[in-house]
C-alpha cells in the first residue's frame, strides 16, 4: 500500500488549478443512464472513485470513452463520453458498489428507464452507518416495490414510476440526486421538499435541464420536477471542486505563504471565507479564481458547526481541525451531519495536537507546533487533514493507507510539491 512522506515546515507559494468536483462528476456520470444518447462531461477529475463508477456503469452497458483532457488548458480533468445506448444489465454487484456509496445512485435512473434494478447496499467511507432509507422511501412513494434480500435492494416498477410529493425529514444530498434523476423520467410531477441545495445537486440539475428535463427550484430547498417521456444527450462541464478548494485554502493558511487557486469560485466556499478571514487568513477573489495568503500574523481559534449547504461543509471539518490544531487559542468544532466523523482526532493527537471530544463537539486547544509522526488515514477527508497537519508540522510525517486520498484528490502530491511542499509518495 502506498504511503506519503512529508517533511513539514515549507511555506506554500505559487498557483495551482482546482479540479472538477468529484461529488458532482459522480452523479453526472450516473445521469448518462437516463438517455440512449451520449452524454459528454468535461473537467472530470482523474480519481479512483471515478474509475470505480465507470466500471459499474460499464457493467450496466454504458460505453465510456475518453475524449482527451479537460477544458482547463489540458492541466486537470478529462472529457468523458458516456453512451447508454442499451442497458444490458440492471444489476450493480456488491464487489463494486461496496467500495463507494455514490454508486447507489444508479438505482433511481435504472428503475426510471428499465422499471427494475438490483443494487447492492453501499459501502464507502467508514464515517457512521449511512443508511439509504430516504432513497428507498422516495422511490416507494413514486411507485417502486422494494425488497431487501441478501444485502441487495431489489426494486421493481412494472408500470413505471409516477410523480410524488416527498418531504425529506433531513437533508440528504444523495437521496435528492437519486430522486431528482428518477423523477425526470417519471409520469407526472414530483415535489421534493427539504431537498439538498448543494452546488453539486444544482450542477446535476443543470445537466438534466440540458438533457431536456423540466426542473424548477434548483439551488433552493424545494424542487419541482415534471417528468418527461425521454431525455436526450448533452455536453456539460463539471463545476469546480469546493472541497478541494477549501482544502488548499486551509493548507496555505496552515503553512503560510500565498497561493492562487485557479478555476474556482469564492461563492462555492462562502461559509468558509468569512470564518477564516475573521481568524486572520487573507482570501480574495481574483479574475482567475481565488488568492489565499497568510504572511506573518498567526490565525486565531474559531467556533463552527457543520451544516447542509450553505452552511460549513462536513467534508471540510477534518481539514479545519488540522488547521486549528496550531491556532492561537481555543476552537470548538461541532459535527452534525455524520455521527462518526472524528476519526482523524487520534491521529492528530499523535502529532502533538490538544483535542478533546464531547459528543458531537471537539475542543481544539491550539499548540505552538505539531510534530511529524507516522499516522494512518481512515477516510477520504481525514487523510487530507493529516496532510495539512504534516505540511505545517516540524519534522517528518508518513501517512499510511493513502488509497483514501486517491479516491478524492487529483494529483495532490504533484500540486503540493509545485507549491514548494516537501512531499513524496512511497510505492508499495
Helix (H) or strand (E) holding 382: helix 380-392
- Site residues for ligand UD1, window 25-64 (CB under 6 A)? 26
Task: Select the residue interacting with ligand UD1 from 139, 225, 337, 355 (CB under 6 A).
Answer: 337
Which lies closer to ligand UD1 via its Cβ, residue 172 or residue 255?
172
**Count of residues binding ligand UD1 (CB under 6 A)?**
20
- CB nearest ligand UD1: which residue? 174
Minimum CB–partner distance for residue 166 and ligand UD1 (Å): 12
SS3 content of the chain, % helix, strand, coil (to 5): 35, 30, 35
Please tell me whether the peptide bond between 150 and the residue prior to it is cis, using omega within 30 degrees of 0. no
Minimum CB–partner distance for residue 424 and ligand UD1 (Å): 27
Minimum CB–partner distance for residue 269 and ligand UD1 (Å): 14
- Site residues for ligand UD1, window 137-196 (CB under 6 A)? 172-175
Q: Does 197 help bind ligand UD1 (rule: CB under 6 A)?
A: no
CA–CA–CA angle 320, 403, 131 (5° rounding): 70
Q: State the Cα–Cα distance between residues 194 and 69, nearest whole angstrom.
A: 37
207 catalytic residue (yes or no): no
Structure letter (DSSP) for residue 239:
P
Task: Select the residue interacting with ligand UD1 from 8, 12, 20, 23 (CB under 6 A).
Answer: 23
Q: State the Cα–Cα distance between residues 146 and 140, nearest whole angstrom.
A: 7
Minimum CB–partner distance for residue 328 and ligand UD1 (Å): 29
Those residues with Cβ within 8 angstroms of residue 209's Cβ, 6 or more apart along the chain or in another chain: 215, 218
Minimum CB–partner distance for residue 296 and ligand UD1 (Å): 34
Which lies closer to ligand UD1 via its Cβ, residue 387 or residue 392?
387
Contact 27, 177 (CB under 8 A): yes
The one catalytic residue in 125, 136, 231, 390 is 125
How many C-beta atoms lie closer than 10 Å to residue 251's C-beta?
Answer: 27
Residue in 285, 291, 278, 279 with CA at minimum distance from that of residue 249: 291
Stretch of 127-135, 186-194, 228-236, 294-302 contacting ligand UD1, by CB under 6 A = 127-135
Contact residues toward ligand UD1 (CB under 6 A) are 23, 26, 101-102, 128, 130-135, 172-175, 200, 314-315, 337-338
Could you list the active site residues? Answer: 125
Amino acid at each position: 500500500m502506498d504511503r506519503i512522506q512529508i517533511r513539514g515546515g515549507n511555506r506554500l507559494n505559487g498557483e495551482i488549478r482546482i479540479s472538477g468536483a468529484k461529488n458532482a462528476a459522480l452523479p453526472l456520470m450516473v445521469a448518462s443512464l437516463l438517455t440512449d444518447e451520449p452524454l459528454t462531461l468535461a473537467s472530470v477529475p482523474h480519481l479512483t472513485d471515478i474509475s470505480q463508477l465507470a466500471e459499474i456503469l460499464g457493467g450496466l452497458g454504458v460505453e465510456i470513452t475518453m475524449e482527451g483532457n479537460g477544458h482547463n488548458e489540458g492541466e486537470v480533468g478529462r472529457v468523458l463520453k458516456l453512451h447508454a445506448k442499451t442497458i444490458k444489465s440492471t444489476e450493480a454487484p456488491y464487489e463494486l458498489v461496496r467500495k463507494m456509496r455514490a454508486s447507489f445512485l444508479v438505482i433511481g435512473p435504472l428503475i426510471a428507464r428499465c422499471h427494475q434494478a438490483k443494487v447492492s447496499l453501499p459501502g464507502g467511507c467508514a464515517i457512521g452507518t449511512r443508511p439509504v432509507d430516504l432513497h428507498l422511501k422516495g422511490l416507494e412513494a413514486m411507485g417502486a416495490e422494494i425488497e431487501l434480500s441478501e444485502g441487495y435492494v431489489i426494486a421493481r416498477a412494472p408500470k413505471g414510476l409516477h410523480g410524488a410529493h416527498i418531504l425529506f425529514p433531513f437533508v440528504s444530498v444523495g437521496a435528492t440526486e437519486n430522486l431528482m434523476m428518477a423523477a425526470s423520467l417519471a409520469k407526472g410531477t414530483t415535489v421534493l421538499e427539504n431537498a439538498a441545495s448543494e452546488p453539486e445537486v444544482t450542477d446535476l440539475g443543470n445537466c438534466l435541464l440540458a438533457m431536456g428535463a423540466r426542473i424548477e427550484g434548483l439551488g433552493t430547498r424545494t424542487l419541482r420536477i415534471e417528468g418527461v417521456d425521454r431525455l436526450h444527450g448533452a455536453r456539460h462541464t463539471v463545476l469546480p471542486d469546493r472541497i478541494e478548494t477549501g482544502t488548499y485554502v486551509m493548507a496555505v493558511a496552515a503553512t503560510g505563504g500565498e497561493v492562487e487557486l485557479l478555476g474556482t469560485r469564492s461563492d462555492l466556499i462562502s461559509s468558509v471565507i468569512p470564518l477564516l478571514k475573521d481568524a486572520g487568513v487573507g482570501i480574495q477573489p481574483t479574475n482567475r479564481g481565488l488568492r489565499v495568503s497568510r504572511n506573518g500574523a498567526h490565525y486565531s481559534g474559531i467556533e463552527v458547526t457543520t451544516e447542509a449547504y450553505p452552511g460549513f461543509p462536513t467534508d471540510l471539518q477534518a481539514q479545519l481541525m488540522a488547521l486549528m490544531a496550531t491556532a492561537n487559542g481555543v476552537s470548538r468544532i461541532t459535527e452534525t451531519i455524520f455521527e462518526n466523523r472524528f476519526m482523524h482526532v487520534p491521529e492528530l493527537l499523535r502529532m502533538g495536537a490538544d483535542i478533546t471530544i464531547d459528543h458531537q463537539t471537539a475542543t481544539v486547544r491550539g499548540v505552538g507546533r505539531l510534530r511529524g509522526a507516522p499516522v494512518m488515514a481512515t477516510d477520504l477527508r481525514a487523510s487530507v487533514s493529516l496532510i495539512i497537519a504534516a505540511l505545517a508540522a516540524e519534522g517528518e510525517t508518513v501517512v499510511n493507507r493513502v488509497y483514501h486520498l486517491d479516491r478524492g484528490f487529483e494529483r495532490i502530491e504533484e500540486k503540493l510539491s509545485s507549491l514548494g511542499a516537501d512531499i513524496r509518495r512511497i510505492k508499495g
